[in-house]
């Protein structure tokens, strides 16, 4: 199992653990969007690295080639980043899912329109796979499943609604997961400061 596959499966069930209220066999979904504004603290143009600072903490991000007008980013600029995560889970009858044992992954990008003065862009990843439930331990609120490569994973579930959700699962149930994550970044014009 690749590192990406492992991270996907753990991330998908972690998102489920964050709160799903649905009964089997209805499809379920969870979405989370977070928007932050930070200031550009430093730039490594050859490597397309930008250090962002907010409330005394800093993070370095690699700006994808899809982001137009990278050369217009300046120290002190305000960056608005929106991060979206979504997970849909759907119960499938045994043998019905086409993604048992495989991962169907797609990536898409978007750029600011041609001629736009502001730097910006977006990238999104969508992964679909089906896991087979091995067991649910209701005393420890954990679910064990077999992923697409045949590797078994166990995930602890904390949220009470999600605990109720996994309580409906049985050994052999197939759960098709579709996980989407997207990051959109735009630069706000540098505020004019009197000289």
Is there a domain that residue 22 lies in?
yes
Residue 68 lies in a domain: no
pTM > 0.75: no
Residue 121 CB contacts under 8 Å (≥ 6 apart), including other chains: 63, 64, 66, 67, 68, 109, 110, 111, 112, 184, 185
Establish if 147 belongs to a structural domain. Answer: yes
Total domain count, the chain: 1
pLDDT by residue (tens digit) across 95-108? 888 888 888 888 88
Note the pLDDT tens digit of each residue in 148-176. Answer: 888 898 988 776 666 777 788 889 988 88
Q: Is residue 17 part of a domain?
A: yes
| The token pair that represents 151 in the structure block | 């590797």
On the CB side of 57, CA atoms within 13 Å amount to 4
User: 48 in a domain, yes or no?
Assistant: no
Range of the domain at 110: 3-31+84-188
pLDDT of residue 9: 47
In whole numbers, what is the pLDDT of the chain averaged over residues?
Answer: 76
- Checking if the pLDDT of 2 tops 50, the result is no
Does 107 map to a domain? yes
């Amino acid at each position: 199992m690749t590192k990406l596959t492992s991270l996907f499966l753990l991330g998908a069930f972690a998102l489920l653990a964050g709160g799903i209220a649905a009964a089997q066999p209805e499809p379920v979904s969870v979405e989370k969007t977070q928007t932050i504004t930070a200031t550009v603290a430093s730039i490594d143009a050859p490597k397309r690295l930008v250090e962002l600072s907010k409330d005394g903490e800093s993070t370095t991000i690699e700006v994808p080639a899809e982001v137009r007008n990278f050369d217009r980013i300046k120290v002190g600029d305000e960056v608005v980043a929106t991060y979206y995560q979504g997970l849909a889970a759907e119960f499938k009858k045994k043998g019905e899912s086409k993604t048992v044992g495989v991962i169907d992954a797609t990536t898409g990008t978007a750029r600011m329109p041609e001629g736009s003065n502001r730097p910006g862009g977006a990238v999104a990843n969508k992964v679909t796979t089906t896991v087979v439930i091995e067991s649910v331990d209701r005393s420890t609120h954990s679910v064990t499943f077999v992923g697409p490569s045949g590797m078994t994973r166990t995930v602890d579930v904390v949220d009470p609604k999600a605990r109720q959700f996994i309580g409906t699962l049985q050994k052999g149930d197939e759960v098709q997961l579709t996980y989407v994550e997207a990051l959109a970044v735009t630069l706000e014009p540098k505020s004019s400061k009197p000289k």
